[in-house]
Structure 1
Amino acid sequence: MGYKITNIYVITTVAVIGGALFGFDIASMSAILGTQQYKCAFNQTGMKDGKCGGPTSSTQGGISAAMPGGSWVGALASGFVTDYLGRRGAIQVGAVIWCIGSAIVCSSFGIPQLVVGRFINGLSVGILSAQVPVYVAELAQPSKRGQVVGAQQWAITWGILIMFYISYGCSFIEGNAAWRTPWGVQMVPAALLFGLVFVLPESPRWLAKKERWEEAHEVLATVHAKGDYNAPFVQTEMHEIREMVEFERSNKDASYLDLFKGNMIYRTHIGVFTQIWSQLTGMNVMMLYITYVFGMAGLTGNSNLVASSIQYVINVVMTILALVFIDRWGRRTPLLVGSTLMMTFMFANAGIMATYGRPAPPGGLDNVPEQSWDLSDAQSAAKGVIACTYLFVASYAPTWGPVSWIYPPELYPLRLRGKAVALSTSSNWIFNFALSYFVPPAFENIQWKVYIVFGVFCLAMTIHVFFAFPETAGKTLEEVETMFTTPGLRPWKTKVQYQHVRMLEQGAIQTDKAADIRAEEGTHIEKNASALPE
């Protein structure tokens, strides 16, 4: 198959550049929308105190929402793209579309062109956010699947951090170059992604689905067993994949309607709500419009931007916890703990602002209508809002952030996985679209009560996860399928089976390393050696 990268961590590093593109968009919009250069270029509200007022709040909501609107369309379309072109082909299509959209955005001479460019960028993000998790999930060993799929979220956090500081640095440039430069620079990683995908292996499960068995076997052997075609774990995976493909062969090509038939609708609702709830935590809203929140806390100008950037650093650092421990923690526990903590900090912010704040003057603080609440006279309370915001981010980063990308690809059978994850991801983007449009006027009209809304959502998702979301960690993708098709599933009784998959994978490790592993992990593996696949 020619030269291919076979280390799963290197493969993941390349693939999740697609996730970083979403982070670029969040950070650049957040950092740019408060600058005078941007406001003057797209000014609709005239001059106030010698400064450009920028777009109206509803127009800014539309500009921000154009990207997730496009992502919704892109995510749905990705199901067809990935089934036809493969996981790698879908990623490359997304990279090309991103470059086209970025070229339109950075050359914008009016709001309509800006909206069109951001919509096209959204098409790219929709495709990549849906198919990158599928790609790495289908390549990874079960004990590493959460780790490598979770890297999608880590890439998003890095994209946010890097692009925020690029945009912040460019804010000191005079004229339109202040916002054209960062929106042009973001084409570089997409071009890099397009080129590097040529040296990545294709998903073995997609190859098997297309009856390309020799290639599928080769990919499994090179990625999981350093080229040993006869390694027990490789043989076990090939056997399970072959059984699954044979079982599904009698079915016609899967359609989106199949996701709503029979017991599949249960899994569909879990995948869809995983992505919906991840948006209704309020995290992306906090990221995109954080300058409004800190503006209400009394921060202005560069101090606002610098304080906003701290949460991006927290996001990057705290996501590392998930990458290290997520396959041992599982999926249910992080979701339940994360939503409970986020609910607490949302309600805390609402209480602080209601108790110590007051309505801002007409037109908002610093002539920003969205900054409709004033905490400037209560500095301790303002610091409390900032602290709760940072703690909220620290709660989201190792929990709902990565798990919302890890969980959906694990839920579905092979024949439906591409379209199912596309549908799940599209629900993320349609809610992202709605919230991006809703939040600016919400801050303007219901003020601190915005926090109450998201706090209630966090409470609802905690209850939903406990009763409806089963544990998928510690199982091969084929074993997850068996779990869902076995009668009597009780989500709250499902457990992480990390040692189970580690024992399976030990069969793929070369003989000269087996003794070291036994010594490191103790006699448990020795006692269960008979359970390893022959």
Structure 2
Amino acid sequence: MGRTHPPTRDEIPSLESFGIELHPDTPRYVQDVQLLADSLGGNGLKDVFANWIVFAAAFSACMGGLLFGFDQGILSIVYTMPQFLQTFPEIDGNNPGAGLKKGVMTGLLELGAFIGALQSGFLADRYSRKKTIAIGSVWFIVGSVLQASASSYAQLTIGRFIGGIGIGVLSSTAPMYISEISPPNVRGAFLVLEGASIVIGIVIMFYITYGTRYIESTWCFRLPFTVQIVPCAALLVGLYLLPYSPRWQVQVGRDAEALHSLARLRNLPLTDPRLQAEWIMVRADAIEAREVIVNKHPSLQDGSFGSELKLEVASWVDMFGPGILRKTMIGVMLMVFQQFQGINALIYYSPTLFQQLGLDTQMQIDMSGVLNIIQMIGTCSAFFFLDKVGRRPPLIIGSIGNTCSHFIVAGLIGKYNGQWNDHPQAAWAGVGFIFAFMFFFGIGWSPVPWAMPAEVHSSSRRAKGVAITTCCNWFFNFIIGLITPPMIEGIGFGTFIFFGAFSILSLIWTLLFCPETKGKTLEEMDAIFNTQAAHDELEAKHEIVSYMCRQAAGSTAATDEKASDKINPESWVENA
């Protein structure tokens, strides 16, 4: 089936054409978007688990994060396995050039993930969020098979690159899928699952690899690479049970299917006014977004392959244009500060960092495991409070805690390096503040950068906005993976000063530029940016919504007047 688009304003089908009769209370929910948001999902944890279909879909979609966590958990230990180093002597530290080859092997997964995330925006818009998750799963399984069976450095690195493409596709698609299926008041909790799944994956695979390191054959590292295929294969099977994103269905002109998907996700009958109101607003958002694209690129609407290709390129360029650039840069800057506060440096190279604090080899590995558990506790705790306190407070608290932790550790290493045997309390204090960093990072900068970019963009821009954000994550992850070893070797405690400086910058940026998206519906998100374009788009959306409700109520003047009383333009814009 070829791709279709939402109808223009004068082509909007009536509710009767879908066999739907407008409920008398539906316009009230349409007008009061906060009332609609409150009615679709409560603020309590019970509302998260009560909506089991959304929870199951969100959990399944987060498999990309889990698989990335698996990779991080594997690497931190396999680098210490003699069998691994014998099989791939190119990365043995005793051989010349090993450091660079180790960095390339580590970084190729991030490079593959960058490419995967880049293509996910196109795939998610054309083939659906759900099918894109399946495509990413296939990429990952192929890469994992190559890694598990690798007998040469070349095969291992190629396998990591291919697996990385799958992780990039999955990690980019999951947040947009989750944001589009979740009720607004518990959307944050569901989006936390993406960040939480990464650290859960790290912990699970770290201790699996911790156990397999006692296997004397090469299965000590082949088994962990094989195990990570299992949840991905389960995801492929489970995808058949997941609903499509209603917002994507509306975006490609499948309005009736979107209504039934929403009914399934909200567990409400088709006649429920809350369901009808959300459906009307989702359709209006898609129609308004389509009008923006048509008005901006009127010469690229003939449906030919050339026009479609040019429109695809133009829509990517639009992400950095007026009215959209700020939303795009929010995602970019969140990922800049997430990575440059040093999280993956600590995860990838934690044994080396603990070595700087004078810990022996076994203690380095043990403390690396504890490090991952603390981050998991911090990130998972956000599941319980992100929808109550919002997105900004955890970021602010996280930045303050991260800054203090980095500078204190830097001071301890600078003063006591080489004298740890005489000052064991100082060494353990350094370990404690590294743990503190992991916790503070976990409560804010681990989950929010994955959650917010999926919230701020309109449905027509969301796939590309999230793809750009995720590409930035993988690009900066790649940079951190490359620069951390020479930084540790060359500037020692200055590495922590470097990450501490970015923690300070993250605090300043959050206070000055980061919006609050708590409790907002995706359709009203434009209003929080307070631009004229957003106001104009909101008024256009109101006109579309008003037309839909009047159309459903009847075409007589008396009926139109009654519908107009229910939906007042000024109050609708103000409430939004």
Work out the CA distance in 2 between the residues paired with 1:96 and 1:467.
42
Find the aligned partners of 1:296 and 1:332 in 2 and give their Cα distance.
34
Matched, 1:426 2:468: no
**How far off is 1:116 after superposition?**
1.2
1:435 aligned onto 2:435:
no
Alignment partner, residue 344 of structure 1:
404
1:263 paired to 2:319: no
2:279 pairs, out of 238, 260, 274, with 238
Taking structure 1 as reference, are residues 55 and 218 closer, same or farther at Cα in structure 2, changes over 3 Å only? Answer: farther
Offset at residue 377 of structure 1 (A) = 4.5
Specify which of 304, 317, 320 is matched with residue 380 of structure 2: 320
Q: Are positions 1:228 and 2:263 aligned together?
A: no
Q: Residues 46, 323 of structure 1: CA spacing in aligned structure 2 closer, same or farther, 3 A cutoff?
A: closer
What residue number does 1:407 align with?
Answer: 452
1:80 to 95, 113, 122: 122
Deviation per CA, 1:260-313: give whole Å up to 9, x if none: 111211111111111121111111111111111112223333332122101121
5+ long unaligned stretches in structure 2: 1-50, 295-310, 535-574
Indicate the residue corresponding to 1:286 in structure 2.
346
What secondary structure does 2:520 align onto?
coil
Shift in Å, 1:6? 6.1
Instruction: Tell me what 2:297 maps to.
Output: none
- The AA in structure 1 aligned to 2:410 is A
Q: Is the 8 A contact 2:136 2:166 kept in 1?
A: yes
CA distance in 1, matches of 2:147, 2:360: 27
Q: Secondary structure at the match of 1:260?
A: coil
- State TM-score, norm by structure 2: 0.78
Compare CA radii of gyration and give the structure with the larger one.
2
What is the DSSP-based 3-state SS (H/G/I as helix, E as strand, rest coil) of the residue aligned with 2:280?
Answer: helix
Cα distance in structure 2, aligned partners of 1:174 and 1:435:
33
For residue 559 of structure 2, what is the aligned residue in structure 1?
A: none
Letter in 2 for 1:240: M
Q: How far apart are residue 85 of structure 1 and its match?
A: 1.1
AA matched with 1:61? G
What SS class does the counterpart of residue 71 from structure 2 fall into? Answer: helix
Identify the residue that residue 109 of structure 1 maps to in structure 2: 151
Counterpart CA distance in 1 for 2:162 and 2:370 is 30
User: Relative to structure 1, is the Cα distance of residues 488 and 207 closer, same or farther in structure 2, using a 3 angstrom cutoff?
Assistant: closer
1:410–1:46: structure 2 CA closer, same or farther, 3 Å change rule?
Answer: closer
C-alpha deviation, 1:67, in angstroms: 0.9
Q: Secondary structure at the match of 2:443?
A: coil
For residue 385 of structure 1, what is the aligned residue in structure 2? Answer: 430
CA distance, structure 2, for counterparts of residue 461 and residue 173 of structure 1:
43
Kindly indicate whether the alpha-carbon contact (under 8 Å) linking 2:85 and 2:91 is maintained by their aligned counterparts in 1: no
User: Shift of residue 424 of structure 1?
Assistant: 0.7
SS of corresponding position for 2:319: helix
Q: Percent identity?
A: 32
Q: CA deviation at 1:157?
A: 1.3
Alignment of 1:36-435 (within 5 A): 36-44=82-90, 56-224=98-266, 226-250=267-291, 251-252=293-294, 255-358=315-418, 375-435=420-480
Report if the CA contact (8 A) 1:15-1:132 is conserved: yes
Name the CA distance, whole Å, in 2 between partners of 1:61 and 1:310: 24
Cα distance in 1 for residues equivalent to 2:482 and 2:501: 20
Are residue 479 (structure 1) and residue 479 (structure 2) matched? no
Determine the C-alpha separation between the residues in 2 that align with 1:42 and 1:378. 38
Q: Deviations over 1:189-225 (max 9, x none)?
A: 110111101100010000000111111111111211x
| CA–CA distance in structure 1, aligned partners of residues 502 and 511 of structure 2 | 14
What whole-Å deviation, never above 9, does each CA across 1:50-100 have from its counterpart, x for those lacking one? xx6697222211111111111111111101111111000111111111110
Query: By how many angstroms is 1:383 displaced?
Result: 0.6
Please provide the CA RMSD for this pair.
Answer: 2.1
Work out the CA distance in 2 between the residues paired with 1:247 and 1:451: 48
> Aligned equivalents of 1:390 and 1:46: distance in 2?
29
Tell me, in whole angstroms, the C-alpha distance in 2 between the residues paired with 1:385 and 1:230. Answer: 60
CA contact (8 A) 1:6 1:222 kept: no
Aligned equivalents of 2:109 and 2:331: distance in 1?
Answer: 22
Change (3 A) 1:452 1:189: same
Deviation, 1:227, is 3.4
Distance 2:86 2:489 in 1: 21
Instruction: Measure, in 2, the Cα distance between the counterparts of 1:377 and 1:202.
Output: 61
Assess, with a 3 A threshold, how the Cα gap between structure 1 residues 331 and 100 changes in structure 2: closer, same or farther: same
Is the partner of 2:208 in helix, strand or coil? helix
Separation (CA, whole Å) in 1 of partners of 2:110 and 2:187: 27
Say if 1:6 and 1:201, in contact at 8 Å, map to a contact too: no
Contact 1:42 1:55 in 2 (8 A): no
Aligned with 1:174: secondary structure? coil
User: Distance in 2 between the 1:488 and 1:77 partners?
Assistant: 28
Which residue identity does 1:424 align to in structure 2? Answer: T
Give the counterpart letter for 1:241 in structure 2.
V
Q: In 1, are the aligned partners of 2:192 and 2:380 still within 8 Å (CA)?
A: no
Corresponding letter in the other structure for 1:20: L
SS in 1 for 2:518: coil
Q: Distance in 1 between matches of 2:420 and 2:244?
A: 54
Offset, 1:249: 2.3
Q: CA deviation at 1:391?
A: 0.6
Q: CA deviation at 1:126?
A: 0.8
Contact 2:63–2:170 under 8 Å retained in 1: no
For 1:449, the aligned partner's letter is G
The CA distance in 2 between the partners of 1:162 and 1:75, in whole Å, is 24
Match of 1:34 in 2: 80
Alpha-carbon distance change, 172 to 130 in structure 1, aligned in 2, over 3 angstroms = same
Residue 44 of structure 1: how far off its partner (Å): 4.0
Deviation string for 1:404-439 (max 9, x for gaps)?
Answer: 111001111111100110001100100000110111
The normalised TM-score by structure 1 is 0.84
**3-state DSSP class of the match of 2:150?**
coil
